[in-house]
Amino acid sequence: MANKRSQKNVKSSNSKTSSIGVGKKRASPAVSSGGSPAKRPKVDHRSHSDTAGLVLAVGEGDVGQLGLGPDVMEKSRAGLVAIPSKCIQAVAGGMHTVCLTVNGDVFTFGCNDEGALGRDTSEDDSEMTPAIMNINTKFVQISAGDSHTAMLTNDGQVYACGTFRDANGSIGLTDKGPETRAVHLPCPKVIIKIVSGSDHILALSEDGFVFSAGCAEQGQLGRIAECFATRGGRKGLHHLLKLQQVHFQGTRTNRKPKFDDIWAGTYVSFAKSTNGDIYAWGLNNYYQLGTGDMENKYVPTLVSELPADKKWQCIAGGQHHTIALSKDGEVYSMGRGTYGQLGLGESSTNDVTELTKVASLTEKCSSVEASSSVSFALGTSGKAYGWGMGTCKQLSNGEEEDQFEPQPMVGKQLANKEVLTVSSGGQHTILLAREKPDSGDQAGSG
């Protein structure tokens, strides 16, 4: 069968910064191809949660990424995905979807050309509906990129399947190449959070260090010099594919910064130090890093447009734009605005070089998300908002027109639910939602 990725002009996906985990149960001993790693203490991070909900999907799904079966190729409003257990996290990769259940199991569906589903899909249409990834451990957090899936155990170990890609194609997930089954990615530290960009992974350790692995072409690893960015140069791919520490230059107030949060966009990375400073690195061709220039950053750079006094709670990177959430629940944007993804109105579609408040979004928000040319925010009321390119129907508003300001995501499945998370991929969006307290326990149809 022809590679499905060659049949479409795929828009790149980003890390699902709104993903939540459970972090409350002890995992079974993890098993990898390299043997059984030693048991480590249980880990915890504010991105972990045990709040459970139902998985909803919207957008285009011609390779099964909606999980609604072989007869549903697109949805303009969110539809219910049938998964045996309620989920605590659901993330959209470029052309696949990953869901984490309350029991710590992982279900996947969508494109499996390079192993991103971590399971056998040789049976016709088996990639079109959710099925469990059989691996002898339980997980507390997941993330997904264009062609990879990453998972975190509650004792701080990282697993992954699929592959990373660069401009010339697959570079593999490990030295062995693409991995069609989940394998352990060794790291010298106990990891408490993972996030994925299109083709890279960031990991945060319990003692405040940041690690990265994957493609380095745009600087997104933050530890590879530009001269080695293309497939590791003379150092080879091993230098890219192994989780290794990102080093940061200190500031006058924080000479040796430690970090308590990380986020990854399509080709960018962000890290928040314990004193609130935001560092960024990666692609910067539309001012999306907030450094005031258009130069790609191959090492972490302190972001002047994201001052510590705003106490940033969440940062999401699309293909060429950035969305940020302050502690006060206000949403800001910068970067490319061609399709309305900045949410600043139809008259503001030019590049925005400075972080600008999305003034039309008046509700206090609890999370933000971005991918390709779309953006999302969650209101504290449980209402989800979307804006940007409408072509792929990712915004769940029943239309295909671009939206230049935040609009509520609607549909029968959202009518009596509060949205817990939103995660957007190349052409689809995945929501995790639960019934409102006064609306009963049963999900509707449609």
Q: Which residue, chain included where needed, has tokens 């593999």?
A: 172
Strand, helix or coil at 437? coil
DSSP string, 390-426: -TT-TT-SS--S-EEEEEE---GGGTTEEEEEEEE-S
Q: What is the pLDDT of residue 444?
A: 39
Domains of the chain in sequence order? 4-435 (2.130.10.30)
| Predicted structure pTM score | 0.90
Half-sphere exposure of 374 (CA within 13 A, CB side): 33
Dig out the tokens for 445 from the structure: 């149809």
End-to-end CA distance of the chain: 32
Tens digits of per-residue pLDDT, 203-257? 999 999 999 999 999 999 999 999 999 999 999 999 999 999 999 986 655 578 9
Q: Which helix (H) or strand (E) holds 317?
A: strand 314-317
CA-angle at 414, arms to 82 and 401, nearest 5°: 105
Q: How many CB atoms lie within 10 A of CB 71?
A: 7
| Contact present, 337 and 329 (Cβ < 8 Å) | no
**Alpha-carbon gap, residue 32 to 302, rounded angstroms:** 37
| Contact present, 5 and 95 (Cβ < 8 Å) | yes
The closest alpha carbon to 260, from 211, 301, 208, belongs to 208
**Alpha-carbon gap, residue 157 to 37, rounded angstroms:** 9
Query: Which residues sit opposite 261 in a β-bridge?
Result: 272
**Alpha-carbon gap, residue 268 to 14, rounded angstroms:** 9
Q: Which residue, chain included where needed, has tokens 């690690």?
A: 211
Cβ contacts of 266 within 8 Å, gap of 6 or more: 12, 13, 14, 197, 198, 283, 317, 318, 319, 371, 372
Q: What is the pLDDT of residue 252?
A: 55
| Contact present, 256 and 263 (Cβ < 8 Å) | no
**Alpha-carbon gap, residue 326 to 308, rounded angstroms:** 10
Q: Which helix (H) or strand (E) holds 238?
A: helix 238-241
Q: Which stretches of the chain drop beneath a pLDDT of 70?
A: 1-41, 250-254, 438-446
Report in angstroms the alpha-carbon separations of 369 from 28, 106, 313, 377, 427: 32, 22, 12, 6, 14
Distance of CA 294 to the CA centre of its chain: 24
Q: What is the pLDDT of residue 12?
A: 38
**Alpha-carbon gap, residue 331 to 357, rounded angstroms:** 6
Strand, helix or coil at 43? coil
The residue length of the chain stands at: 446
| Contact present, 409 and 399 (Cβ < 8 Å) | no
**Alpha-carbon gap, residue 421 to 440, rounded angstroms:** 20
Q: What is the dihedral of CA 327, 333, 335, 337, to 10 degrees?
A: 160
**Alpha-carbon gap, residue 267 to 18, rounded angstroms:** 17
Q: What is the pLDDT of residue 42?
A: 77
